[in-house]
Amino acid sequence: MTTTTSVDVPTTPETKPGRPPGRRAGVASFAALLLSPSLLILLLVIGYPIVSALRLSFIKTVDGVDPDTGLVTHSSVFSLANYIDIFRGDTAAAFRNAFWNTTTFTIVTVIIETTIGVCMALVMNKAFRGRGLVRASILVPWAIPTAMSALLWRWIFSADGVANDLLRANILWTTEGFQAWLAVVIADTWKTAPFIGLLVLAGLQIIPAEVYEAAKVDGSSAWRTFWRITLPLVKPALVVAVLFRMLDVLRMFDLPFVLIGPQKKSTQTLSLLAYNDMSNLHFGPAAAYATVLFAYVAVVAYAFVRLLGADIVGRGVGGGR
């Protein structure tokens, strides 16, 4: 969960108009002073690693082995080679495959999870006996660490596991192929649909009951009420939930790693590709993959914010228009 922690970047408080200029300057510098420790920490734990990773991605290392002693010889130069290799030769195929998996995982899981999550929220929002129990039980998958749930799903999807028993089939889920991709989608949906459900529920609960009463008086059908009232009013919460999920899936790592295995092409994501390179000591290419993934995440997030006006720092939706 590295992404969510750094979302609340403190923005400099806006100074209200109409204050005496001298005092404003004093307040601003005092505010800067108060913020400096957190800015310093952010610089240290976010700024430095990013710059370091960027620098690393431009270093091309050529390894050789000394034929007499067997010792490794390194030579490093600054170049664009790591980035060029992403689009050329064998590594290009691996990159395209990982990029495709990352993208399809993101699109498919987010669509399914949003649909199920909204349904869950609508159920949880209704007043009925045992509502508390339903809410708690829906959240259980979200509370289980991904690596654990991946292990549980690995048992379910094993050759003699529950999934095959239920389907009366003998599918080898964890082998290369579409079924491995599907297994990841199923496990991910199970785990994170409740997350969307929870955020949407919070959005549903602030919709005033009067709006629904008015709709009822006007004779609106349940379907129309959902599309015309519930969805527009819950949109701010929903958009934020979907954005978080997208950022999460784009960097998906642990689920395919544990459930299917790190070397499988069918479920290899960009994070896994970077990890594999890093564990084989190819730091330059690994950093290049990570940088590309970073750019991809940033572009998707930016486009999403521009298109749907996601309000992630809580200023109210209408503010920017």
Partner 1 sequence: MRGRRASAVSVIAGALGVVLTLGACGGGSKSGSTPAAGTFDAKGPITLATGKDTSGYLQSALDKWNSAHASEQVRLIELPESADQQRQQMIQNAQTKSDAYTILNVDVVWTAEFAANGWIEQLPADKFPLDKILKGPASTGQYFNKLYAAPYLTDGGMLYYRKDLLDAAGISSPPASWDDLAADCKKVQASNPGVGCYAGQFEKYEGLTVNFSEAVDSAGGKVVDDSGKPVVNSPEAKKGLDFLVNGFKTGVIPKDAITYKEEEGRRAFQDGKLIFHRQWPYQYKLASATDGSSKVTGKFAVAALPGLSGAGKSSLGGHNLAISKFAKNKGSALAFIQFLTSEPEEKLHLQKTSEAPVYSELYDDPELIKQFPYLPILKASVNDAVARPRVVKYGDATTAIQEDAYAALTGQKTTDDALKDMQDKLTSIIGK
Place of tokens 């990890």: 275
Please pick, from the candidates 39, 40, 45, 111, the single residue that binds partner 1 as defined by CB under 8 A: 45
**Footprint of partner 1 on 178-237 (CB under 8 A):** none
Sign of the torsion angle spanned by Cα atoms 149, 7, 291, 109:
positive
Q: What is the DSSP string of 235-294?
A: HHHHHHHHHHHHHHHHT--HHHHHHT-TT-GGG--HHHHHHHHHHTT-HHHHHHHHHHHH
User: Could you give the 3-state DSSP secondary structure of residue 65?
Assistant: strand
Alpha-carbon separation of residue 282 from 60, 121, 170 (angstroms) = 9, 45, 39
Give the integer Cα–Cα distance in Å for 14 and 230.
33
Which of 127, 170, 217, 219 binds partner 1 (CB under 8 A)? It is: 170
Interface of this chain with partner 1, residues 139 to 158, rule: CB under 8 A: 158
- Residue with Cβ nearer partner 1 (69 or 78): 69
Sole window of 26-34, 51-59, 188-196, 224-232 interacting with partner 1 (rule: CB under 8 A):
51-59
Residues 6+ apart with CB under 8 A from 286: 274, 275, 277, 278
How many residues touch partner 1 (CB under 8 A)? 74
Which residues from 74-113 bind partner 1, rule CB under 8 A? 74, 76
**Cα distance between residue 288 and residue 61, in whole Å:** 13
Nearer to partner 1, 217 or 307 (CB): 307
23 binds partner 1 (CB under 8 A): no
Using the rule CB under 8 A, is 58 a contact of partner 1?
no
Q: How far is the CB of 224 from partner 1 (least distance, A)?
A: 32
Cβ nearer to partner 1, comparing 26 with 89? 89
Range 239-258, binding partner 1 (CB under 8 A): 243, 247, 250-251
**Binding residues among 265-284 for partner 1 as defined by CB under 8 A:** 271, 274-276, 278-281, 283-284
From 136-144, 185-193, 202-210, 309-317, span contacting partner 1 (CB under 8 A): 309-317
Rule CB under 8 A: choose which of 35, 53, 144, 207 binds partner 1.
Answer: 53
Q: Report the nearest approach of partner 1 to the CB of residue 296 (Å).
A: 9
Closest distance to partner 1 from the beta carbon of 109 (Å): 17
Q: Which is nearer to partner 1, 121 or 238 (CB)?
A: 238
Which H or E run contains 73?
strand 72-78
Phi and psi at residue 94, to the nearest 5°: -65, -40
Q: Which of 69, 169, 217, 223 binds partner 1 (CB under 8 A)?
A: 69
Under DSSP, the state recorded for 133 is: H
Cα angle 241-253-152, degrees, rounded to a multiple of 5: 90
Identify the residue among 38, 104, 137, 175 touching partner 1 (CB under 8 A). 175
Q: Shortest gap between Cβ of 320 and partner 1 (angstroms)?
A: 5
Stretch that binds partner 1, among 31-39, 65-73, 125-133, 191-199 (CB under 8 A): 65-73
- The residue among 86, 44, 64 whose CA lies nearest residue 286 is 86
